[in-house]
Structures are given as structure tokens and as C-alpha cells.
Amino acid sequence: MEVGIDIRLLARGTRTGVEEYTINLISHLVTLAPHIHFKFFYNALRKVELQYPWKNSPHVEIREFAFPNRFFDVMLGRFSFPKIDTLLGGCDVFLSPHFFITPVSKRCPKIVVFHDLSFEYHPNFFSFSKRLWHEWVNPRKAAREATTIIAVSESTKADLIHLYHVEPEKIHVVYPAVGEHFRHFAVNDESRRVQKIYKLPDKFILYFGTIEPRKNIIGVIKAFELFKESSRHASPYALVIAGSRGWLWKDILRGARDSKYAKDIIFTGFVEEHDKPHLYNLADIFVYPSFFEGFGFPPLEAMACGVPTIVSHVSSLPEVVGGGAITVNPYIYGEIAGALHLLLDDQRLYHLYRDRGIREARKFSWENSAKRVLDLIVKAGEYGG
């Protein structure tokens, strides 16, 4: 069986949620299915060199192309040409880990992964160019044309049914997971190295993710201010905002700069993958009151690392964290601040949520996820045949 997979989104070398999903899923699929010949479609005029172990597997073939993606997307979107499976030399099934424009031959079943529809609910959280991109790639059409859809949460499945009127039986929920390197451990010499590199204080509340409006970082800053003003335990704590700048980030930086506690707010910028578990283990609390998430990797990573976690009670987040985190209304800063109070004023509760988070995170497994996806690939191949 020959399976094509679109890996264009790895060309930039970034590791946001969709890239993390793709990297981990591919790694486990390749390990689980040595009987399948995987063909990876890797295109960009300028792209990073792939540095993953699966690259050299005997049943993996990487087809590299150097079409400028903007021009290429116009060809794909306007003319449905060229067919991606044809460029790969033919496939029995094609898997797209995101709703890119990926025309394939009629004989080739296509599986498309949908991570979220945040751009439909909150277009104001996206830049003008990003909104144009979403209009151009037309996710509604991608959902309609897919043979099978994988949704990363029940929340995303419900959105696909409600907004795009997709038949429920076409959508299969397959939860992602987090890497095994995200675990609770005692702070060590490597952790101290990470602390020094990113200029981290000894006690801090952590947000980690892309710096963009949808993540409600302004809400985190406002809640931190309330916490500092009202808790007897607040004095030694700083707020660390970690992650790369996304879109519409300037207001967030301005909000931190204008805060009366600006000296206690630290931006780390990009965090290397191997440094992330240490960042989490150094933190006292993780806070992630996002306005909308299709899944939400950072809270699960934090929980796996034993950091008591606070998340929004909206979209997929309650579904992901289960009883392993405190949920709050993201629009009420006082609720976020109140959750910080609860955890830092009550050591029993603090340790309870640390232990609960670790247990909940263990329920998610990349091996199980890959097995589910592999079953769907095989079924789609049988359907196509």
C-alpha cells in the first residue's frame, strides 16, 4: 500500500501545534506500519532540511519540489492542477495533516485533519493576510471534498457539523498526545542551564504558546495584576510569557510594557524543543485562558510535567484537561486571578492538581493515536479500491 502525506508545513522549521501534530503522527505511523510505503510531499522554494529519524526509513520516500508556494497554491486552487498524488507517482490514499489545498485524482481517497475552526468564530483575532489565506484555501470545500475527516477533538467535530454541515459519520475524532519527554522530574543542572538562558526567575507563573490575541495573553496580564495586588503570596512571583510572536502581537507587548508590574513580566521569545520540559518543570503554575482551541497542546504538556494548570472553560479545553486542571471564564480576569490564589494559597490543592494533571495527561498516547489513524488509512484505501 502506498500512502502520500503532505508535509509542506514542515518547510519553515517552526513547531507550533499543527507542526507538532504532524511530526509526532508521522514518527509513530512510520514505526507502526513498515509494510506501508510512505511518500512525503515536501515543497517550498526555500525550506529547511528535514532532521527526523523517519527520514531514512527504508519504506519512506521523500519527494522534494521547489515550486514557490504562493504561485503553486494559485495553480492548485484555481485549476486543481497538478494533482498531488500524480506528483508523488501515485498513491492509494493521501493524508493532509491540515486543510491545505491538495487536489488529488478521483481514484485517490483523501483524509484531511481539522484542528480547529477558530477563524470562523473569531476572525478578529487574525491578521488581514491570514483571513485572506483562510478564504483562499476554503476549509469548507476541503471538508466537503475529503473522503474522511479526522477531528482532533469532539469540539472540533461539533463545529464541523454545525458550521460546514459535514455528515457526522464522515468525521472521526482522534485525540493527539504529547511527546514522552514531557514528564515531571526534579530540577537538575540542565534545568538551571535553561533557567539561565531564558533569564527565568526562581518563582514564576507561566504562559507558553504563540503570542497572539486568541490566546488571551492580555487577560493573563490583567489577572496577574489582580493577583499581585490581592494575594499575600504574590510578592515573589513573576509572569513568564514564553513563545514566538504570531500575528497582532504588538498590543500584547504594549499591554505588558504599560502594566504597573512590567518589571515582573518576562518575555522569553522562541523556546527550543529540548528546553520545553525544563521550562514547564521550573514553573509554579501554568495558565492558558485561551478564547478558543481545537485541542490545546501546551496545557497537556504542562500537566504531563506536573505543573498545576489553569485553562478556559470554552471550546475543547475542558475536554482535553478533564479533571486535571482548574477551568475559568476567560473573559473574567478575576476568575483567572482567583484560580491563582486558590493554588498558591492552599498547598493541599496545589499538590492535588499536580497529581491529577499527570494522571489525565497519561490518558493520551501518540501510539494509540497513530493506530487509529492507520486504521482509517487502511479503510480509506479499501474504499478507494
| Per-residue pLDDT at 148 exceeds 70 | yes
CA–CA distance, 293 with 117 (Å, rounded to integer): 9
Cα angle 5-84-294, degrees, rounded to a multiple of 5: 45
pLDDT at 45: 86
pLDDT in tens, 78-106: 888 899 999 999 999 999 999 988 999 99
Query: Around 214, how many Cα atoms within 13 Å sit in the side-chain half-sphere?
Result: 23
Residue with cell 487509529: 372
The model's pLDDT over 292-337, given as tens digits with 9 standing for 90+, comes to 999 999 999 999 999 999 999 999 999 999 999 999 999 999 999 9
| Homologous superfamily of 2-177+365-384 | Glycogen Phosphorylase B; (3.40.50.2000)
**Is the Cα torsion angle 247, 253, 255, 256 positive or negative in sign?**
positive
Bridge partners (DSSP) listed for residue 163: none
The residue among 25 and 73 whose pLDDT is bigger is: 25
Most confidently predicted of 8-17, 128-137, 195-204: 195-204
* pLDDT at residue 385, rounded to an integer: 45
Lowest mean pLDDT among 20-24, 78-82, 100-104, 138-142: 78-82
DSSP 278-344: HHHHH-SEEEE--S--SS-HHHHHHHHTT--EEEESSTTHHHHHTTSSEEE-TT-HHHHHHHHHHHH
Average pLDDT over residues 116-131: 88
Of 189, 210, 213, 192, residue with least CA distance to 201: 192
Give the confidence band of 384 by pLDDT, cuts at 50, 70, 90. low
Q: Which CATH superfamily is domain 189-361 in?
A: Glycogen Phosphorylase B; (3.40.50.2000)
pLDDT at 361: 97
Q: Which residues pair with 269 in a beta bridge?
A: 242
Which residues are CB-neighbours of 34 under 8 A, at least 6 positions away? Answer: 57, 59
Q: How far apart are CA 112 and CA 377, in angstroms?
A: 11
**Average pLDDT of the segment spanning 237-247:** 92
Burial of 19 (0-12, 13-18, 19+ CB in 10 A): middle
Return d(Cα 150, Cα 97) in angstroms, integer.
Answer: 9
CA atoms of 267 and 257, how far apart (whole Å): 11
Most confident of 33-37, 76-80, 243-247: 33-37
Higher-pLDDT residue of 346 and 68 is 346
The mean per-residue pLDDT over the stretch 212-229 comes to 95
Helix (H) or strand (E) holding 99, with range, is none
Phi and psi at residue 177, to the nearest 5°:
-150, -165
Q: What's the rounded Cα separation, in Å, for the pair 33 and 224? A: 47
Q: Which of 310, 373, 3, 326 is nearest to 177 (CA)?
A: 373
In 3D space, the residue among 113, 95, 77, 80 whose CA is nearest the CA of residue 41 turns out to be: 95
pTM confidence score: 0.92
Q: Residues of CATH 3.40.50.2000 domain(s) within the chain?
A: 2-177+365-384, 189-361
Task: Give the amino acid at 33.
Answer: A
Q: Which three cell numbers stand for residue 156?
A: 472540533
